[in-house]
Chains A and B, each alone.
Chain A
Amino acid sequence: MQSYSEKIKEIAIRLLKDETVEVVFGFREGTLPMASPPFAAKTVEDAEQLTWTSHCCINLANYLMDHKGKVAIFAKGCDCRSIVNHIGEGKVKREDLHIIGVPCKGMVERHTICTLFDDEIDEAVEEDDGTILVRGNGREEKYQKADVMRQCCKVCVHRNPGIYDELAAELVTIPDDIKRYREVEEVEELGVDERWNFFENLVSTCIRCYACRDACPTCYCPTCFVDEAQPQWVGKGDEEPDIMTFHILRAFHTAGRCTDCGACVSSCPMGINMRAFTKKLEKDCLDLWDWESGLTSDVRPALETYQPGDPEDNFK
């Protein structure tokens, strides 16, 4: 990722120097191994801190909505699709954005490596041969990035940016044998009770910190339904029906709009794969309406419109 980082710095410095933009949204090195937090670079010195690693899991499109003025953003394929949605939903204006597309080679969560290594990690080095070398507590392990990358990245068919003003690297080739929905099909094949158990277990560790919602660029309601007080739709405690209501309703609110960027899962302190909900809805949107989120801002998302010819099999 070193070559990406050099190019990213170079682009950001140029855009700030020639005043194309006031600020560049990217990532910088964090304080922990494999932490790459979002960063807003406003000066050339700031831009020198920008980096690109295999741990840029956060979707930067989430930061655009609070911003006024001209902004540049480094965007992976999924981030670009979220930007397309934001433009379509009137949250940002295309003319305020300078999008630097970053063809994506997949992201790896720190949590995944920490679990595998199961020891204190002093250092994680990404090698050019697609491996991640992890050192800590006097031992080292080598992981194949292809094995440890996020599930959403493994099944991603939109790795290249769909909307951009310039690119930070050459476009990547997307394998043509990706089984996009195998994880969904495995759950679909379960019986009703087993399926319910699957989802119950899935959210059993949820602490309702709402990191998934807050990391999600699609979740931008001024007041989320769980925070409504009059009427109050859902209890605020830690009981399973309330937790389940939150996750299921959130998923449905993102149906047809979620880009499977995986920021929700990557942000979860309890390691919950809430994509199990959203990926199913993504598959349904594709199967029923031939709809994929974030590819165009000119057509309303699947669940926002009704056409007389729409299939009705989903009404039960």
Chain B
Amino acid sequence: MRILQIRKTDWAAGLEKSRKDHSLIGPVRERNNTSKFRELEVGEEPDFSITTTTMSPKSVVFPQSEVMFTYTTDKASPECNIMKVPKNDYSPRAIIGIRPFDAAAMNIVKKNFDTPDYRDPYWCDAYEACTFIGLAVTNPDSCDFSTSTNSGPFSTAGLDVLLVDTGDSFLAEVVTEKGASWMRSAGFDTKADHDAEETIATMRKEAEKKITSTVEFDNIDKKETLDLYNENFWESISFPCLNCGTCTYVCPTCWCFDIQDETAHKKGRRMKNWDSCMFPNFTIHTTGHNPRNTKLMRVRQRFMHKLKYHQSKYNQGIMCVGCGRCVTSCPVNIDIREVCKQMNS
């Protein structure tokens, strides 16, 4: 394990230095006590006081709205109705301060956009342009249950570097060559003391101990899909649901999108927009028939996908990293931990 030390007094200058070959993206506060990841302006530092941003960093590689193609419907043009891929910027960028659960989510989402059969060029190109400089969670939020979901406050899965805040300095565990390259670019090359590995291990244990919220899902995998599907509890679970898209939009692992053509005055663009299985429109057919036409069916689908179908299909655990965003953002307090408990019992 290669561990470097970054003194906090050198942090800002290093970030700026790395801009010569990376743009920087990080967590920032917004209006109304909300927060998200966006490109940092020159001199702007990522806000490390935020443990869980309101919106996850999935938008860094999977924006809420993205132009896939542009076109003209002008019959006089030789390019009439030809779809053209826009020239997007996929130059290197560093995502500073992504939390381990969100980096773990990137690995999950990758399974959808980068498969042996299909490669979504928009997602993959953006993903490959990223260097993920993670920040270990030392003070987990009360809804964090990431230790139950193959992630955890110090997990390096999906990260290129893991930063650990030790007070005056960061210990930086360099995980990949991509991470090493960013560290060099920022001029961070001070070797950490010999006991750094032990310090990280101790801090990891402390952080993991602070996470008291847990879920168990081992029985869900053993249960028959149709038995779970036909359970009576879906009625009471779904009753309060408003069928808004909050849970899916704040979720770092929800990957569904819709494709829309927007045409005006013979000019058009094909958009890729986030979609949500909570919306009736998500499944409506051109005939008008909607196979998921009730709230209960939509709520059941979301939890079955997260907690049952994903494991059945990939055999790599649940489609949830335990960030707790859906728990805190749901307007009617539908709590995935409670749903998981009912499905697992």
**Measured between alpha carbons, how far is A236 from B276 in the docked complex, in Å?**
12
Check B141–A211 contact: CB distance below 8 A.
no
Chain A residues with CB under 8 A of B31: 201, 204-205, 270-271
The answer to whether B64 has its CB under 8 Å from any CB of chain A is yes
> B211 CB to closest chain A CB, in angstroms?
12
The answer to whether B301 has its CB under 8 Å from any CB of chain A is no
Among A30, A40, A238, point to the contact of B333 (Cβ < 8 A): A30
**Measured between alpha carbons, how far is A268 from B54 in the docked complex, in Å?**
12
Chain B residues with CB under 8 A of A58: 240, 331-332
Check A215–B244 contact: CB distance below 8 A.
yes
Q: From known contacts A211-B331, A271-B32, infer whether A237 and B242 are also in contact, taking CB-CB under 8 Å.
A: no
Check B240–A271 contact: CB distance below 8 A.
no
Chain B residues with CB under 8 A of A237: 64-65, 260, 262, 271, 273
The answer to whether A235 has its CB under 8 Å from any CB of chain B is yes
Most chain-A Cβ atoms within 10 A of its Cβ — which of B240, B273, B332, B338?
B332
Output the nearest chain B residue to A40 by Cβ-Cβ distance.
Answer: B239
Check B34–A209 contact: CB distance below 8 A.
no
Chain B residues with CB under 8 A of A121: 142
The answer to whether A295 has its CB under 8 Å from any CB of chain B is no
> B269 CB to closest chain A CB, in angstroms?
10
The answer to whether A208 has its CB under 8 Å from any CB of chain B is yes
The answer to whether A188 has its CB under 8 Å from any CB of chain B is no
**Measured between alpha carbons, how far is A270 from B30 in the docked complex, in Å?**
9
Chain A residues with CB under 8 A of B328: 32
Check B33–A32 contact: CB distance below 8 A.
no
The answer to whether B245 has its CB under 8 Å from any CB of chain A is yes
Among A111, A122, A235, A266, point to the contact of B33 (Cβ < 8 A): A111
Q: From known contacts A40-B236, A111-B33, A214-B242, infer whether A207 and B55 are also in contact, taking CB-CB under 8 Å.
A: yes
Output the nearest chain A residue to B64 by Cβ-Cβ distance.
Answer: A238
Chain A residues with CB under 8 A of B329: 269
Most chain-A Cβ atoms within 10 A of its Cβ — which of B31, B64, B240?
B240
Q: From known contacts A236-B260, A238-B64, A267-B331, infer whether A115 and B240 are also in contact, taking CB-CB under 8 Å.
A: no
Contact residues of A between 21 and 55, Cβ < 8 Å to B: 30-32, 35-40
Among A32, A214, A268, point to the contact of B243 (Cβ < 8 A): A214
The answer to whether B246 has its CB under 8 Å from any CB of chain A is yes
Among A66, A209, A227, A238, point to the contact of B244 (Cβ < 8 A): A209
> B86 CB to closest chain A CB, in angstroms?
14
B interface bracket (residues with beta carbon within 8 Å of A): 35 or more
**Main SS of the interface on chain A?**
loop
Output the nearest chain B residue to A119 by Cβ-Cβ distance.
Answer: B139
Check B331–A238 contact: CB distance below 8 A.
no
> A31 CB to closest chain B CB, in angstroms?
4
A interface bracket (residues with beta carbon within 8 Å of B): 35 or more
**Measured between alpha carbons, how far is A236 from B328 in the docked complex, in Å?**
25
**Measured between alpha carbons, how far is A284 from B329 in the docked complex, in Å?**
33
**Measured between alpha carbons, how far is A66 from B280 in the docked complex, in Å?**
15
Check A31–B338 contact: CB distance below 8 A.
yes
Check B240–A205 contact: CB distance below 8 A.
no
The answer to whether B281 has its CB under 8 Å from any CB of chain A is yes
> B239 CB to closest chain A CB, in angstroms?
5
Check B281–A227 contact: CB distance below 8 A.
yes
Check B33–A115 contact: CB distance below 8 A.
yes
**Measured between alpha carbons, how far is A313 from B54 in the docked complex, in Å?**
43
Chain B residues with CB under 8 A of A111: 33
Q: B270-298: contact bitstring with A at CB < 8 Å (1 yes, 0 no)?
A: 01010010011100000000000001000
> A25 CB to closest chain B CB, in angstroms?
9
The answer to whether B106 has its CB under 8 Å from any CB of chain A is no
Check A238–B65 contact: CB distance below 8 A.
yes
The answer to whether A89 has its CB under 8 Å from any CB of chain B is no
The answer to whether A210 has its CB under 8 Å from any CB of chain B is yes
**Measured between alpha carbons, how far is A58 from B241 in the docked complex, in Å?**
11
The answer to whether A272 has its CB under 8 Å from any CB of chain B is yes
Check B242–A37 contact: CB distance below 8 A.
no
The answer to whether B143 has its CB under 8 Å from any CB of chain A is yes
The answer to whether A185 has its CB under 8 Å from any CB of chain B is no
Among B142, B246, B271, B273, point to the contact of A211 (Cβ < 8 A): B246
Chain A residues with CB under 8 A of B110: none
The answer to whether B249 has its CB under 8 Å from any CB of chain A is yes
**Measured between alpha carbons, how far is A174 from B212 in the docked complex, in Å?**
44
The answer to whether B189 has its CB under 8 Å from any CB of chain A is no
Check B246–A39 contact: CB distance below 8 A.
no
Output the nearest chain A residue to B67 by Cβ-Cβ distance.
Answer: A237
> A51 CB to closest chain B CB, in angstroms?
13
The answer to whether B334 has its CB under 8 Å from any CB of chain A is yes
Check A271–B34 contact: CB distance below 8 A.
yes
**Measured between alpha carbons, how far is A215 from B243 in the docked complex, in Å?**
9
Check B244–A214 contact: CB distance below 8 A.
yes
Chain A residues with CB under 8 A of B331: 58, 211, 215, 266-269
> A116 CB to closest chain B CB, in angstroms?
9
Q: From known contacts A37-B333, A236-B273, infer whether A207 and B64 are also in contact, taking CB-CB under 8 Å.
A: yes
Check A211–B242 contact: CB distance below 8 A.
yes
* Pairs across A and B, CB under 8 Å, 22 listed: A30-B335, A31-B327, A32-B333, A37-B334, A38-B240, A38-B332, A63-B239, A66-B295, A111-B33, A120-B141, A208-B245, A209-B244, A213-B244, A214-B242, A214-B243, A227-B279, A227-B281, A236-B258, A236-B273, A237-B273, A238-B65, A272-B32
